[in-house]
Amino acid sequence: MTKIYAYAIRKDEEPYVHEWKEAHKDVDVDFTDQLLTPETAELAKGADGVVTYQQLDYKADTIEALDKLGIHNWSIRNVGIDNIDLKKAKELGFKITNVPVYSPDAIAEHAAIQAARVLRQDKVMDEKVAKHDLRWAPTIGREVRDQTVGVVGTGHIGQVFMRIMEGFGAKVIAYDIFKNPELEKKGYYVDDLDELYAKSDVISLHVPDTPENVHMINDDSIKKMKDGVVIVNVSRGPLVDTDAVVRGLDSGKVFGFVMDTYENEVGIFNSDFSNKDFPDKRLADLIARPNVLVTPHTAFYTTHAVRNMVIKAFDNNLKLIKGEKADTPVDLDKEF
Ligand SMILES: NC(=O)c1ccc[n+]([C@@H]2O[C@H](COP(=O)([O-])OP(=O)(O)OC[C@H]3O[C@@H](n4cnc5c(N)ncnc54)[C@H](O)[C@@H]3O)[C@@H](O)[C@H]2O)c1
């Protein structure tokens, strides 16, 4: 009987593992909440493939441990493959799949909700109400329909974000280094980032974290923006020079900041510091500000997205095992 072994299955993923198992009674599915390491590889003994998801590096020793067990079909439930020693995996004949798109709506919706909350000054009002201060002024909102929303990056997530903001009635403009023909026909694109910065009341980033994009939001770009701009980063922390945004917030140039991803988030986001010293002063300051909405890289974290990550990874793994073409293979020849 075909066997798939899954690592690092969280409680919120378990129902979807069971769902897949129910739908594939001819496959033996087993799982653990432990990460895949050279030591835990042994747990997969007898399996034809493994399914994993972790930030911890998959180094040569981990990959060799799977190889020793004769396991070469490997499906990750997330997008990123930068923590895998791909050279070793290729050398040992592994086939790898990832899940590059699991729910653009999850991330786009979060960006839209948070941007709207900043415009309405909801955090300020929530804090006032919690203290039983029920006065209106001076906590007045700005309506989304009155804003020009500039979208940087019109890929999977950026496009959904554009639709949602238009649903609110905003004027949407966009910039992408590769123009989408459909969007171009509809006249969304401005010529360059400077034009987008100059015209937008809300600027939302939906681009990847490539070396060219690091700190694309910095003192210079902020200078080019409108006074009272709202900056939204639910993409990747390194896209934003956080100190520059703090300076913008301090001067009043930046009205609000939505931050789901942070330059120094690794080891901090998805950890509990409620009874411990907080390790990052700048982050603590941002969290405390009434016009900054920090979330710990949870834009993706919805039942819909988590289900897709699990189901798509198992589907991919079974295809690899059967020698079929997986839906989203990682091209090991291209990666290095
Ligand atoms: N917060 C979360 O939970 C979460 C979850 C998934 C993805 N993300 C992030 O969201 C971002 C967008 O993901 P996606 O799936 O929409 O990607 P995508 O590849 O579908 O689209 C990215 C777009 O950005 C464009 N682009 C790249 N560099 C650019 C630049 N300098 N200026 C203008 N356009 C540029 C590309 O041409 C492409 O059209 C990525 O950074 C991704 O890592 C965040």
Q: Residues 78-117: pLDDT tens digits? A: 998 989 999 999 999 999 999 999 999 999 999 999 999 9
Q: Is 19 a catalytic residue?
A: no
Write down the domain spans for the chain.
2-102+303-335, 104-294
23 lines ligand 1 (CB under 6 A): no
Q: 2-102+303-335 with 104-294: one CATH topology?
A: yes
Sign of CA dihedral 284, 263, 104, 229: positive
pLDDT of residue 82: 86
C-beta of 208 in contact with ligand 1 (< 6 A)? yes
CATH architecture of 104-294: 3-Layer(aba) Sandwich (3.40)
CA of residue 101 relative to chain centroid, distance: 10
Q: What pLDDT, on a 0 to 100 scale, did the predictor assign at position 335?
A: 52
The Å distance, Cα 208 to ligand 1 centre, comes to 4
Q: Which atom of ligand 1 is nearest to the CA of 300?
A: 3
Q: Which of 102, 235, 258 to mutate to test the pocket of ligand 1 (most atoms within 8 A of CB)?
A: 235
pLDDT, tens digit (0-9, with 9 covering 90-100), for 138-169: 999 999 999 999 999 999 999 999 999 999 99
DSSP 21: H
| Residue 153 CB–ligand 1 contact under 6 Å | yes
| Separation in Å, CA 10 to CA 113, 142, 214, 325 | 26, 40, 32, 28
- 265 classed as catalytic: yes
Is 156 close to ligand 1, i.e. is its CB under 6 Å away? yes
Low-confidence ranges of the chain (pLDDT < 70): 335-336
Specify the pLDDT at position 56.
85
Asked if CATH classification 3.30.70.1060 holds for the domain at 2-102+303-335, the reply, yes or no, is no
Q: pLDDT value at position 156?
A: 97
The active-site residue, picked from 297, 304, 324, 335, is 297
Sequence-ordered list of residues with C-beta below 8 angstroms from that of 53, at least 6 positions apart, any chain: 7, 8, 76, 77, 78, 309, 313
Q: What is the pLDDT of residue 96?
A: 97
